[in-house]
């Protein structure tokens, strides 16, 4: 139908994509072979069959196992370049890409190997792309502080820091000092909050960490005062529709609160989160939401516009898209 074509063709920015979550099963097996890494799965089909998640943690276990094939700079480059090409095909013009250094340094892969491979692909890729370094919230504050130290010689390669992994039990407050240091360094700040965790985590991401965007944030709607505040401040939410269904945050796409968030005046964006694991890249996320919910052309234009408005781009560059 006509709206479908418009949505597919719209220029968009992607603001919530974990590069390790773009690692397709075929590339996992190719890298496993190239690097002689033993996987717990015998085939691409067997691995894909493991992508039946019940919650965030059941996904993270498989996601960290998949990332174990990444050893050399070229592996990180190949993964990132594959994502950038795929995103370009969906008319993503700019991507702000999360990476999880601790997933790799914890296995003995040097920080430099990770960031240099990912960054080189961003510099050479077909679309504009910048990097946001995420701290794993299930690990300690000390480990996050050490990771920020490792990033110091590479600050020219990252635009910001984020917070991901197991949310419940690991509130934003745990990383107050890490984010204060990152802020001192002039880095942009974002955090996952209100995916599985309560609205209180969104409050503390804003008030304690001073984030500039909320990743997911869909549980904000449980708190009317918070919802009003997010609308008033035009705080962007990077919503990930297919992720939310795959991780059982909502039972079905027609139960997703994306339209309710838009109707409440929030600065919602659509993103893919971990496209290789959740069944699709940007356009698949837009299509799944537009197929299930009564969204129209004005919503599509608002979502695209929001994505550029919330991007960490200079005003002149933004104006070209807005
Ligand atoms: N939530 C938390 N951590 C993550 C996610 C997510 O959606 N994807 C990759 N790491
Ligand atoms: Zn995420």
CA distances from 226 to 71, 140, 220 (A): 42, 28, 6
pLDDT value, residue 257:
98
Q: What is the mean pLDDT of residues 161-166?
A: 98
pTM of structure: 0.98
- Which ligand has the minimum distance to the alpha carbon of residue 274? 1
Q: What is the mean pLDDT of residues 21-29?
A: 98
Answer whether residue 1 shows pLDDT above 90: no
Residue 85 contacts by C-beta under 8 Å, 6 or more apart in sequence?
A: 125, 126
Domains of the chain, earliest start first: 2-310 (3.20.20.140)
The mean pLDDT of the chain is 98
pLDDT value, residue 111:
99
Residue with the smallest CA separation from ligand 1 atom 7 is: 273
Q: What is the mean pLDDT of residues 22-38?
A: 98
Surface-to-core class of residue 310, CB atoms within 10 Å of its CB (0-12 exposed, 13-18 middle, 19+ buried): buried
CA of residue 59 to ligand 1 center, whole Å:
8
Answer whether residue 322 shows pLDDT above 90: no
Answer whether residue 235 shows pLDDT above 90: yes
Ligand 1 is surrounded, with C-beta below 6 A, by 18, 21, 56, 164-165, 192, 195, 243, 273-274
CA of residue 18 to ligand 1 center, whole Å:
7
Is 1 catalytic? The answer is no
CA of residue 215 to ligand 2 center, whole Å:
7
């Amino acid at each position: 139908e006509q709206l479908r074509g418009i949505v597919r063709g719209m220029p968009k920015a992607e603001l919530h994509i974990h590069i390790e979550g773009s690692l397709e099963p075929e590339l996992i097996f190719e890298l496993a072979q190239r690097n002689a890494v033993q996987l717990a799965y015998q085939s691409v089909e067997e691995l894909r069959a493991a992508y039946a998640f019940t919650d965030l943690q059941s996904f993270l276990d498989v996601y960290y196992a998949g990332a174990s094939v990444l050893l050399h700079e070229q592996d990180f480059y190949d993964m990132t370049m594959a994502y950038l090409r795929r995103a370009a095909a969906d008319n993503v013009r700019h991507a702000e890409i999360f990476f999880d250094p601790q997933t790799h340094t914890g296995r003995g892969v040097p920080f430099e190997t990770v960031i240099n491979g990912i960054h080189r692909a961003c510099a050479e890729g077909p679309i504009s792309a910048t990097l946001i370094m995420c701290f794993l919230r299930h690990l300690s504050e000390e480990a996050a502080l050490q990771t920020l130290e490792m990033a110091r010689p590479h600050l020219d390669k990252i635009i910001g820091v984020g917070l991901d992994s197991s949310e419940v039990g690991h509130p934003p407050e745990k990383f107050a000092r890490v984010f204060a240091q990152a802020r001192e360094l002039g880095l942009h700040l974002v955090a996952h909050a209100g995916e599985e965790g309560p609205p209180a985590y969104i409050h503390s991401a804003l008030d304690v960490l001073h984030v500039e965007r909320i990743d997911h944030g869909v549980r904000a709607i449980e708190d009317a005062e918070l919802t009003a505040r997010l609308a008033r401040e035009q705080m962007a939410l990077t919503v990930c529709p297919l992720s939310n269904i795959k991780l059982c945050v909502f039972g079905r796409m027609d139960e997703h609160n994306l339209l309710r968030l838009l109707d409440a005046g929030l600065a919602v964006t659509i993103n893919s989160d971990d496209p290789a694991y959740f069944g699709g890249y940007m356009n698949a996320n837009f299509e799944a939401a537009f197929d299930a919910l009564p969204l129209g052309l004005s919503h599509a234009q608002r979502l695209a516009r929001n994505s550029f408005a919330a991007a960490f781009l200079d005003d002149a560059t933004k104006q070209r898209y807005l």
